[in-house]
Amino acid sequence: MKILAIAGSNSDTSINKQLVSYAASLIENAEVEIVDMNDFEMPIYKHQREVESGVPQEAKNLAEKIDAADMLLVSLAEHNGTYSTAFKNVFDWTSRIKGRKVWNDIPMFLMATATGPRGGLGVLEAASKRFPLHAGNIVETFTLPHFNDNFDKENQKISNEEKNSELTEKIAKISAVEIILEK
């Protein structure tokens, strides 16, 4: 199984990248590629720019990675209750590829974390409503509140036993979905 793990942040110390990396490590017998939003930096989307220059190659490169995956793990950073600007721009450009459905109906485990008590719940809710309109096949969601209290940065894993059990159960569920889809 090929997993594409996307952290919707361009922070060099992204807590969402730490979460999605940990989640990906829980999936057995999988080839995992972690996507760094910094590798897909593009000019801010503008219709006139698209008409004049077309869709940037970076958006096409991400689309190819999505299409090659069997499962998507997406952990979104929350900025003012919604996506980070870095993620939104990549999403916007990718949506402009002619004939493209951004997520291409690939099974997706959608996650978020934040340092506050809602754990990125606002961005998770926004994405849960928006992504299906772009062929997002969300099979499971997870949020980790109070990241600094619930994630062991030294060992790169969730330290809160209840939240770790929840994530582990959901990973087992999505892994089972993928096995069924392979048959």
Which of 172, 173, 156 is CA-nearest to residue 22?
A: 156
Which pLDDT tens digit goes with each residue over 92-128? 999 999 999 999 999 999 999 999 999 999 999 999 9
pLDDT band, very low/low/confident/very high, at 18 (cuts 50, 70, 90): very high
Cα gap 38→19, rounded to integer Å: 17
Let me know: does 136 contact 71? Beta carbons within 8 Å.
no
Which of 79, 141, 145, 151 is CA-nearest to residue 118?
A: 145
| Residue count (the chain) | 183
**What value does the mean pLDDT take over residues 1-20?**
96
Let me know: does 156 contact 26? Beta carbons within 8 Å.
no
Count other C-beta atoms under 10 Å from residue 48's C-beta. Answer: 7
Query: What is the bridge-based pairing of β-strands 82-83 and 78-79?
Result: antiparallel
* Share above pLDDT 70 across residues of the chain, in percent, rounded to a whole number: 96
Mean pLDDT estimate for the chain: 95
Per-residue pLDDT at 177 exceeds 80: no
Let me know: does 93 contact 58? Beta carbons within 8 Å.
yes
Count other C-beta atoms under 10 Å from residue 32's C-beta. Answer: 18
